[in-house]
Amino acid sequence: MTTSPADSPDHAAGRVRRRALVAGSVGNLIEWYEFGVYGFFATIIAANFFTPDGGSELEGLVKTYASFGIAFFFRPVGAAVFGRVGDRIGRRPTLILVLLLMTGATTLIGALPTYDTLGAAAPWLLTLLRILQGLSAGGEFGGAVSIMTEFAPPGRRGLYGAWQSFTVALGLLAGAGAAALSATVMSEESLGDWGWRVPFLLTLPIGLVALWLRLRLEETPAFRAAAGSQATAAADGEATTAPDPVAPPTGPERVATPREVAGAVVLGAARIMGWAAAGYTFLVVMPSYLQATLNATFQQALVATVVANAGFALSILPAGLLSDRIGRRPVMLTGAVLVVVLAFPLLHVVQQPDGSAFTQGVAVFVAGVVVGLMAGPGPAMLAEMFPTRVRYTGLGLAYALSNAVFSGCAGLIVTEVVKRTGEVDIPAYYTAVTCAVSVLALLTPRAQDRHGAPRGRARAADGNQRQEETPCG
């Protein structure tokens, strides 16, 4: 009896990998859809929850972004809590719990009474829901990237990990599209009164589809191997562990010390600092900046953001694939250096009141592309810095810490400094400085070089992949 191609082990493995890719990335799409919608509707949310009796637009934005930033500061807490759970009981059940929390909090924002209805409790309840979103978002990234990279076939971890960043672009584009559609089909009065709620409420059906996908998800081979090895070692009284399929093949996985994990978290956060700051400044904060600082209309600001996110989306997967061929750090360094060089020229093009729409569109498109060069290889790079037993926690914390400071505060920092100084180039200063720090972090010598391990072992590859890191390196 012959086996059909559809029943072959390779076909079955491919089906499991595709399912893991979709189920792992769908939660991230929901997360960034909501964060995008919140950013795009920041001026409307400010009027409904933070400045109901008037006040300057910048004052309302500062309060709105303060609530926005609080959610980011709870991301590390979520990464630590859910990461610990995910490293102990598995990626699958933890990601299901995270998805339920994320979907529920976002849906409730769409149903939340405003200041006029509930009084002073309204902004506090909004902030509480943002905190819950921050906790769930902190637990999402580490688990989703672990799922994707641990299921990835040999030589394709960069591409698989890039899908996590690609869904950021899809989520932001979906949020921009929902906001733009709402602004087009509704009057300005209806949009400010109730129309802003619709994109938030749409999270519920999307979340139900995502839940169905994650319920069908299997646990990763790397986690099962590590858990099985740990159980066997405990029964035998031994300290050996299983090889890590994501780490370079240097033998059995060594248990990393807390100091090594902490060092890898700090280094990882520094390496993606520019991605976090430039990504959020160019892709989310820009609409409010254009409206409040350059007097652009809501529709004009959204169009600029959609174009920037389109450039971001188009560059992510090629960047991840390229990193599988030449390494993570060269691709990420290119993106970070380009932001440092181009931040001021690109912003000046956008600021020209008599500039052509085409030229300004090219400028924001290029801004999105260079951020994508950092975002594509970033997830795989972080995953390869941590062994299986601490991967969910370690990479989640590195990502959450960097985003807490440099993404969550981007809107608050840019808006407040522009308000106080009148300097309209603040977004360029902010992105250039943070990307310069990332350049230095990406050039940091590898841990195995410092400890004297042979360089060749760090470059061992599965398939055609060139590794740039060893776990906790």
Dig out the tokens for 79 from the structure.
Answer: 């990464």
In a domain, 164, yes or no: yes
Specify which of 172-181, 231-240, 257-266 reaches the highest per-range mean pLDDT.
257-266
3-class DSSP state of 271: helix
User: Phi, psi (5° rounding) for residue 465?
Assistant: -85, 135
Dig out the tokens for 58 from the structure.
Answer: 């910048």
The more confidently predicted of residues 188 and 98 is 98
Dig out the tokens for 318 from the structure.
Answer: 């090629």
Residue 214 pLDDT exceeds 80: yes
Helices (DSSP H) in 186-257: which residue ranges? 188-190, 197-201, 203-215, 221-236
Q: From CA 315, how far away is CA 75, in angstroms rounded?
A: 26
Number of domains composing the chain: 1
pLDDT at 466: 43
What average pLDDT score do residues 13-21 get? 84
Dig out the tokens for 254 from the structure.
Answer: 């060594």
Specify which of 129-133, 216-220, 270-274, 453-457 reaches the highest per-range mean pLDDT.
270-274
Q: What percent of the chain has pLDDT over 90?
A: 38
Instruction: List pLDDT tens digits, range 86-124.
Output: 999 999 999 999 999 999 999 999 999 988 888 888 888
In a domain, 351, yes or no: yes
Q: pTM for this one? A: 0.80
Q: What confidence tier does 468 reach under pLDDT thresholds 50, 70, 90?
A: very low
- Nearest C-alpha neighbor of 23 from the set 209, 200, 232: 209
In a domain, 226, yes or no: no
pLDDT at 53: 65
pLDDT at 296: 75
CATH code for the domain of 420: 1.20.1250.20
The answer to whether 233 and 33 are in contact (CB under 8 A) is: no
In a domain, 6, yes or no: no
Instruction: List pLDDT tens digits, range 414-446.
Output: 878 887 888 888 889 999 999 999 999 999 875
pLDDT at 327: 92
In a domain, 327, yes or no: yes
pLDDT at 447: 45
pLDDT at 472: 64
In a domain, 14, yes or no: no
- Nearest C-alpha neighbor of 176 from the set 7, 6, 37, 293: 37
Give the dihedral sign, CA 215/395/377/70.
Answer: positive
Mean pLDDT, the chain, integer:
81
What is the 3-class SS of 100-119, one letter each residue? HHHHHHHHHHHHCCCHHHHC
What average pLDDT score do residues 164-170 get? 87
In a domain, 446, yes or no: yes
What domain range includes position 333? Answer: 19-215+256-458
What is the 3-class SS of 58-100, one letter each residue? HHHHHHHHHHHHHHHHCHHHHHHHHHHHHHHHCHHHHHHHHHH
pLDDT at 239: 43
- Nearest C-alpha neighbor of 394 from the set 109, 38, 143: 143
In a domain, 472, yes or no: no
